[in-house]
Amino acid sequence: MQLDLFTITTILVFLSAIFGYINVRFLKMPNTIGLMFITILLTLAVFAWSYVDPTLLNVERYILSRIDFKTVLLDIMLSFLLFAGALHTDFEQLRKLRWPILSFATLGVLTSTFLVGTVTYYLLMALGMDVPYLHCVLFGALISPTDPIAVLGILKQAGVPKKLEAKIVGESLFNDGVGVVVFLTLFEIASPSEEAVSALGVIKLFGVEVFGGIALGLLLGWATYRLMRTIDDYDIEVIITLATVMTGTVIAHKLHVSAPLAMVVAGLMIGNDKLRNSAMSENTMVYVDKFWELIDILLNTLLFVLLGMEILVLTFNSTYLLAGIITIPIVLLCRYLSLLLPISFFKQKLEFVPRTGIIMTWGGLRGAISIALALGLTAEMNRELFLLITYVVVVFSIIAQGLTVGKLVKLME
């Protein structure tokens, strides 16, 4: 059986439409949760049916074999999703909360990375698995960042207070970019090579990725603003924003700087009320916003259908599964601990809502980015083990935490 890329994309869009309809008509879950839940159920049903007729299972596996999930998400979809998310984020709220958000996205991610890595190392040792400490820290790096794609989709319907929503959304937009850079830096150290990686080399790699990404985002945002300010044609202005994302992503990859951070910064600049009011007419604002909302919805639906199908690439092992289940509370506890210091420091000055740490811990969802990074591990880095653990944590995060974060907020009021 041979399916071209257009046919595979058509199948995925068709499934997204059908599953979306079933969810809205019957399940009434948030779309991202419902799509993933239905896809996992269907995949499990297809897997069970394969004992009678393996045709459907073979089709699903063939589709997955033609799609490099890591490349599709990290190199293509992520830039569009982050730009769309940043474009519709309240810039003024982010500006007021810039220091706690910065501390959550940097200090919080680094602290969580090493806490999760250390506890996981001892957990796996207790379960009789000899896994190098550095590989456990690498897992800590891929599971610590919260996923802006999952967070943005679910918090809209959860009724989280605006000030707290800005903290969680702002953190997820930036810690995603930082988390990917931390992961890639640790990956470089863990990869066997003839040249030893020096501390200076690590700092340089991290600095170029982070600050280079931010600088590129500022340049892209400024250039886009200047272009849009000199014309009044909503068709062309929408295309300019699209070109910003696509061209910016290509440039970021060529320069080896962080494309996610560049897209977040560019999106925040273009979405800033002061800049957009001087660069866009009301008609243009409507078209730009609607275009990027549509891109966001379409890519999200495709992404969560793909995420549900990724269950087929897992190696099921009872010990691995047990490790994944035990890792769920470990990841949550480490996130709570990593937020303690920044919350305590900024609590009184910025009037945090009560029990901010608990809500941010439960509302900090893991998602597709963690799966994509886990898929990028090599066999020597215990890929099959950490991929299953990551999938267990992500499914729990999106379904269990995503469905209950709204109730938790009301309970904490």
| Residue pair 292/40 in contact by the 8 Å Cβ criterion | no
243: tokens are: 């070109």
CA distance 391 to 317: 13
Please list, in sequence order, all residues whose beta carbon lies within 8 angstroms of the beta carbon of residue 33, skipping any fewer than 6 positions away. Answer: 154, 398, 399, 402, 403
- Chain-wide mean pLDDT for the chain? 91
CA distance 232 to 18: 39
What are the tens digits of pLDDT across the range 60-110? Answer: 999 998 899 999 999 899 999 999 999 988 888 888 888 899 999 999 999
| CA angle (264 as vertex; 261, 270 as ends), nearest 5 | 140
| Residue pair 391/371 in contact by the 8 Å Cβ criterion | yes
59: tokens are: 């089709």
What was the pLDDT predicted at 157?
A: 67
245: tokens are: 């994302």
CA distance 71 to 51: 32
Confidence band of 264 (pLDDT split at 50, 70, 90): very high
Model-level pTM? Answer: 0.93
- Residue 12 has phi, psi (to 5 degrees) of -65, -40
Question: For the domain with range 69-412, which CATH number is right: 3.40.50.300, 1.20.1530.20, 3.90.1150.10, 3.90.470.10?
Answer: 1.20.1530.20
| Residue pair 36/304 in contact by the 8 Å Cβ criterion | yes
**Among candidate residues 199, 248, 204, 203, the one with its CA nearest the CA of residue 223:** 248
What was the pLDDT predicted at 195?
A: 59
> Which residue do the tokens 């000899």 mark?
130
